[in-house]
Amino acid sequence: MRSVIMAAVLTAGATGAFAQQGVIRGTVRNEQGQPVPFVNISIPSLKKGTVANGAGTFILAAPQGEYKIRISGVGQKSLEQPAHFSTDTTITDITLQSNGDLNEVVVSASRRKETLDEVPSSITIVGPRELEAQKGISNNIMDILAVTVPGLGFSGNQTGNTGQTLRGRNLLVMVDGIPQSTPLRAGGRDMRTIDPSAIERVEVIKGATSIYGNGSDGGLINYITKKGQQGKPLSGKTTVGATTQLKSAQHTAGIELGQLLSGAAGKFDFVVSGHYEQTGVYKDANGEVLSPEYGLGETQLWNGFAKVGYTINPKNRVELMYNFFGSQQKSDYILKPGKYLDSAAIGVPGKRPGAAEGTPYNHNASVHWSSEGIIGGTDLDVNVYAQRFRTIYSFVDSWRGGGQSQINSKKSGLRINLSSPIRAGKNVDLQAVYGLDFMNDITNQDLVDGRTWVPEMDMRNYAPYAQLKTTLYRHWVLKAGARFENINIDVPDFTTIISKNNSTGEYNVGGVAVKGGSLNYNALVYNAGLRYNEWSYFKPFVSYSQSFSIADLGRTLRSAKENTLSLLKTKAVIAHNYEAGATSTLGPVNLEASYYISKSALGSAYTEIDGRFEIERNPEKVYGFEFAADARILKNLSAGGSYSFVEGKIDKDGNGNYKDEKDTYIGGDRISPTKVTAYVKYNPIERWSLRLQMLQALSRDRFKPGANGKYSYGQGPVNSFAIFSLFSSLELDKHSGISLGVDNLFNKDYYTVTSQWNARNENYVKGNGVRLNLQYTYQF
């Protein structure tokens, strides 16, 4: 009996040792059902895996049993799921969701989900992976977009985005479609109104567009916020970070804390996050404290975000979103003006007068209802939103006794969007997108002490619109549409404030009593585009689009010389944008190129006359081109870059020539110097990523100094410079990771683009010296 038992034990052990391998076979597909090639499929517990072929299919063998398999690929959200390995081959399909890096789907261009192949215009999408890397270098969203979006101007390393135009014109900034820009009084604080920690992706539509209305002459930027993660009742991410500068590091240390929770239960899903940041003193490459005026040093930032979704049934869903953003500077330094073209403006110890500069609050809230097939094949989207915004500027002596101005804005609106298929003939199918926008925008600019600078402007905007899209002969995508703008603005009686004449230094500007009234605008604007998609190696497109905007009415009002509203120059600007471009995929190489011209019969450039700013109303032409390339050189090595050129001119004599002796260039506050970007990304191992990138500004010198030898605002020459940055991230285990970002890696000593064209002693500021950002993250 003992022998029999021993033999049985040995036989069982031998059978287990030489058991047959289990096998699974499958195909990896994306959300559209298309195969995803070269995806990694692995069994982390066994440290083995395989790679899908070009058709997305794979075979993976392992000892029989249950294991967790991990599926990951470039541009896709990683997925873990159980799999049973048995002697019989298991055939399975796996669906991965895009993380945005593939730039496949866009919603901002026409208010419904479309692939980029359906949009005949230039679009840049900054996906989650790119956002995470750039955020690890600088948490300033304006820095992030300057590096990642061709055609967008340079960041000024300040709280405001003045000069950071898109293709030489002002742009409309939105959060989930909620306008952040204040076109009635463009204060240059609309880009930095939400923290990147709450953003899933950024969609940038370039060129004049009327689809969202007032303020989008150069295009629009839409921050798409995060959504609740499906499939888990609770998941989260904790971020702890520290920043410092290397040169004269004293007082430069800062901290960053963030927490995100997400999950789903039944028909509900949610995401909630909080982010806090305290920056230290900012210093230049020589260790000098940067000027605190509108600076980002010694700044506290808060961001709270929540989104709750309820899926009523497979065709109906409701989402509620709220975001709070606040950022204020509390500095122990005051400004010491520099000397333009000679020495920099710096910060010296001192007590700053007045209230803390920055944005005390920016509230955004919305209720979004989406319904598929509500009537036949018609889909419906309804979005109700509200925004409350306040921002405070630095203390200046422009008014008697000095003071601080602040912009207050209240917006509320309703968007009703429908999408219907239309059969127009035997072989012609149309997709119609149509609806109605309503927005009420109440904006004013006063002084913190109560004096009125810009009276309260009450705007009501009704705008019906319609867009049609069809596919002709399988490969031609044709789109056309129109939007009717009906805008009414009520302005009360007011008296312009007495302020300093910048030319003489005397307080002799203002004091004009202006009788208010109503301004009414009606305009029908159009767009049309054509794209050809047969060949992956060459997909050309052409487009024409118009935009409608009121050219900073508040600045016109506060500089009024006439005593009646109707006598002021308040006509709206209609810009005409023409563009031709193409995208190309040549194996592992992706290319994009476009050329554009934008014209308007009325201008919106600022000019300084007798110590006050006025808006130049002569015709304008802005033109330029962009080129971008990305290449996957090896499996673990990729590189890319972009080149953006833009120029603009004012037709002073109105003859349409733009080459006469009287004609002038548009200033640097609108036209950025040529921008060049480049990057190299390398993964030494799967868990370790390295990225080296460059941002370069080329020279722009279009103006001569005045008779007094000084340059006017916006006309200062810009000298070229290039800064490099490094980002490295390491996954410690499946839950935690660390990253190190190094901004201005080689400690370049340079003046920002904004400070150079500004041409003022107090604004002649350098950029940051080498700055470190160390972060630890834990996920569950």
CATH number at residue 47: 2.60.40.1120
Is 8 a domain residue?
no
Residue 74 has pLDDT above 60, yes or no: no
Is residue 251 in some structural domain? yes
- Res 506: pLDDT: 86
- Would residue 477 count as lying in a domain? yes
Please tell me whether residues 586 and 619 are part of one structural domain: yes
Task: Tell whether 14 is covered by a domain.
Answer: no
Same domain, 52 and 201: no
Domain identity same for 351 and 377: yes
Final residue belonging to a domain, choices 180, 196, 222: 222
Q: Is the pLDDT of residue 15 over 90?
A: no
CATH code for the domain in which residue 770 is found:
2.40.170.20
Q: Are 227 and 331 found together in one domain?
A: yes
Task: State how far Cα 435 lies from the chain centre.
Answer: 25
Q: Which whole number is the average pLDDT over 264-282?
A: 96
Q: Has residue 10 been placed in a domain?
A: no
Cα separation of 119 and 530, whole Å?
8
φ and ψ at 754, to 5 degrees? -60, -45
Does residue 230 share a domain with residue 206? no
Q: Are residues 483 and 569 in the same domain?
A: yes
Question: In this predicted model, what pLDDT tens digit does every residue of 531-574 receive, in sequence order?
Answer: 999 999 999 999 999 999 987 899 899 989 899 998 888 899 99
Can you tell me the mean pLDDT for 437-465?
96
> Do residues 271 and 381 share a domain?
yes
Contact criterion met (CB below 8 Å) for 73 and 40: yes
Do both 567 and 433 map to the same domain?
Answer: yes
**Would residue 11 count as lying in a domain?**
no
Higher pLDDT, 77 or 248: 248
Residues 227 and 177 in one domain: no
Write out pLDDT tens, residues 222-241: 999 998 877 778 999 999 99
Q: Band of the pLDDT at 34, cuts 50, 70, 90?
A: low
- 2 is a domain residue: no
What was the pLDDT predicted at 110?
A: 81
Structure tokens at 753: 């683009």
- What pLDDT score was predicted for residue 474? 84
For the chain, the domain total comes to: 3
Those residues whose C-beta lies under 8 Å from the C-beta of residue 86, and which sit 6 or more positions away, are 22, 64
CB atoms inside a 10 Å sphere around CB 613: 16
Residue 370 pLDDT greater than 70, yes or no: yes
Q: How far apart are CA 571 and CA 567, in angstroms?
A: 11
For residue 507, what are the domain limits? 223-779
Instruction: Assign 600 a pLDDT band (cuts: 50, 70, 90).
Output: very high
Task: Quote the percentage of the chain above a pLDDT of 70.
Answer: 94
Residue that terminates a domain, selected from 67, 95, 123 = 95
Enumerate the H helices of 240-309 as residue ranges.
none
Least confident of 43-47, 123-127, 609-613, 758-762: 609-613
Kindly state whether residues 387 and 423 are assigned to the same domain: yes
Please state the pTM of the whole predicted model. Answer: 0.87
**Any idea what the CATH number is for the domain that residue 177 is in?**
2.170.130.10
What does the block give as tokens for 748? 């370049």
**In the block, residue with structure tokens 């290449």:** 631
- 3-class state of residue 614 by DSSP: strand
DSSP string, 522-587: EEEEEEEEEEE-SBTTBEEEEEEEEEEE---HHHHHHT--SSBGGGS--PPEEEEEEEEEEEEEET
* pLDDT tens per residue across span 579-596: 999 999 999 999 999 999
Q: Cα-flanking dihedrals φ and ψ of residue 540, to 5°?
A: -85, 160
Side-chain-side CA neighbours of 574 within 13 Å: the count stands at: 13
pLDDT tens per residue across span 147-157: 999 999 999 99
For the chain, what is the mean pLDDT?
A: 90
Structure tokens at 742: 């190094």
Q: Decide if 121 is inside a domain.
A: yes
Sorted by sequence, the CB contacts under 8 Å of residue 425 that are 6+ apart come out as none
Mark whether 519 and 440 lie in a shared domain: yes
pLDDT single digits (tens) 640-650: 999 999 999 99
In this structure, are 677 and 757 located in the same domain?
A: yes
- Where among 203, 222, 241 does a domain terminate? 222
